[in-house]
Structure 1
Amino acid sequence: MHSLLRHLYDQGLPVPEPLGIDADTECVRLVPGDGGEAAWPHQVSLDAVASAGELLRRNHDATRSWRRPEDAVWAVPAEGQDVICHGDPQPGNMAWHDGIAVGLFDWDDARPAERMSDVAYALEWFTPFDVDPDSLRRRGLPEDVDRPSRIHAFLDGYGWTEPLDVVDEVLRRQQRAIDEVVWLGKAGHEPQATWVAEGWPARWASKLDVTESLRREWRE
């Protein structure tokens, strides 16, 4: 990851600058901006959503010229060879300033993949594919959030021009995320091992039902 981050940082991408690794600790420089729970107020507008799409596209494009070290091992299985995907491009893993996504951090789940893997994952969060009123309120969004407009904003920001069945792709990526937790948990990684032991992957399957329900809603 430090090799990849160095490559991106040296090209001017707003990612954590790698500072070094010792026996027990890796050090990277903080990406300035609001992240984590503080990100939610920034991602409400369509311009904000578009900025996240543009940021993800810049990072994807820049990874294509990176040459992976021969001894590199990915944390999760590769999905393709188009670009290096971030693996978890949600609002909380972006740095924000005045409603604009200005940085991308937490690259632990990066892997070679097709661009759609990250795009679909991001759309799950930015659309969002969530109907719980309390969750939407926490995100600063109304219950009748205009999901199609947010989808278009993200894809326009990214520059996506190909035909796309958004619901199918989000469903596929949601299942992939659940499968990855199971895979990592069985390999003994934490916190995934605890999540698997507590039965969370089965509970997360309800996300797929919510996503499918939104397809039916839009068709009606």
Structure 2
Amino acid sequence: MTKYVSCRHHSQSARSEHQGAVMEALEGGRENAIYRKGELVSRPASHWTMTVHQLLQHLHSHGFAACPKAVSIEGGKELLTFVEGETYNYPLEGPIGSLMALKSAAKLLRRFHDASESFLKLNTQDVHHWMLPSRSPKEVICHGDFMPYNVALEGDVVVGVFDFDTAHPAPRIWDIAFSVYGWAPFKTDEDDKMGTLEEQIRRAKIFCDAYGCTRLEREELVEVMTLRLTALVDHMRSMAANGDAQFQANMEDCHHTAYLQDIEYINKHHQAITLGVLGEIKF
């Protein structure tokens, strides 16, 4: 199963002439809504976009340049710089499925989290608008969707990350757990799954090692993975019930069913995954 809402930018699905320049329609969850013109990307703006732009500006000013630069918000659109690199989707084949991509992704997530800590310290009043609700303890800004389809690679090294719509304050483990789920990946869909359970657990441990996860984070990993996926399904249902056409289509396509099956799979192997990422059993 592929991403339910995205700003993937690896494939141009359509082109049009606009003011003498080529506009490239980029693949993603919002059909005909995301365009690239030169080094800029135009995307629909939402009520959380200003907050995301403030975050991106902060990240760049504090040495994290692996994300888009915020340019402007005007006429219901946001402008961002294009993140250069090769991008992929499931199944994780080729460079995106390599151990180097896995390790470099985890290290990039750690760098992002560390850079985001100061943003939280400067904004303690919690007056920002985010797409997703904040969760306590508010340790970092979570990307919210740090998946293989939201990163850019040079060779087999992850060098950039984009689509910060789902960013929100939360514990590190909230982002780590969802990322491990997507990068192991602990998926059951025929189009998304990769390797055996043992191979998935091995990849999960490699991700945790590269990130520098604590023992407590590893012990909590499976529980938080299932909580995060449950929150995702609840969000999809809520948005569909409130009339969001994209989420209604996702529900009709049974995207939520795949996540529920993944939750069952993860819970079934709770002990093996936990012992594996702790390094107490070898795979």
Shorter-chain TM-score tier: 0.7 to 0.9
User: Retained in 1: the 8 A contact 2:89–2:149?
Assistant: yes
Among 59, 62, 68, the residue aligned to 1:8: 59
How far 1:65 sits from its partner (Å)? 0.9
Q: Which sits farther off after the overlay, 2-11 or 205-214?
A: 205-214
TM-score (norm 2): 0.68
2:34 is aligned to none
Equivalent runs, 1:40-119 vs 2, <5 Å: 40-66=93-119, 67-68=122-123, 72-80=128-136, 81-119=138-176
Among 32, 50, 67, the residue aligned to 2:84: 32
Q: Which sits farther off after the overlay, 116-125 or 178-187?
A: 178-187
2:46 is aligned to none
Among 55, 69, 73, the residue aligned to 1:21: 73
2:240 is aligned to 185
How many percent of aligned residue pairs carry the same amino acid? 28
Q: Which sits farther off after the overlay, 46-55 or 62-71?
A: 62-71
Q: Give the whole-Å Cα distance in 1 for the aligned partners of 2:256 and 2:188.
A: 19
How far 1:217 sits from its partner (Å)? 6.7
Q: Higher relative contact order at CA 8 Å, sep ≥6: structure 1 or structure 2?
A: 1
Moved over 6 A (4+): 216-219
Counting helix residues as a fraction of each chain, which structure ranks higher?
1
Q: Any gaps of 5 or more consecutive residues in structure 2?
A: 1-51, 276-283
Q: Which sits farther off after the overlay, 7-16 or 53-62?
A: 7-16
Q: Give the whole-Å Cα distance in 1 for the aligned partners of 2:245 and 2:141.
A: 23
User: Retained in 2: the 8 A contact 1:129–1:214?
Assistant: no
TM-score (norm 1): 0.85
Q: Which sits farther off after the overlay, 142-151 or 101-110?
A: 142-151
1:175 is aligned to 230
How far 1:41 sits from its partner (Å)? 2.4
User: Retained in 2: the 8 A contact 1:60–1:84?
Assistant: yes
- RMSD over aligned Cα atoms: 2.7
User: Retained in 1: the 8 A contact 2:189–2:258?
Assistant: no
Counting strand residues as a fraction of each chain, which structure ranks higher?
2
Deviations 1:90-135 (A, max 9, x none): 0110111111111111000111101111100011111110244543
Q: Give the whole-Å Cα distance in 2 for the aligned partners of 1:186 and 1:9.
A: 37
Deviations 1:28-72 (A, max 9, x none): 001111124397522322232111111001101111111349752
Larger radius of gyration: 2
Cα gap change, 1:154 to 1:21, in 2 (>3 Å): same
Q: Any gaps of 5 or more consecutive residues in structure 1?
A: none
SS in 2 for 1:191: helix
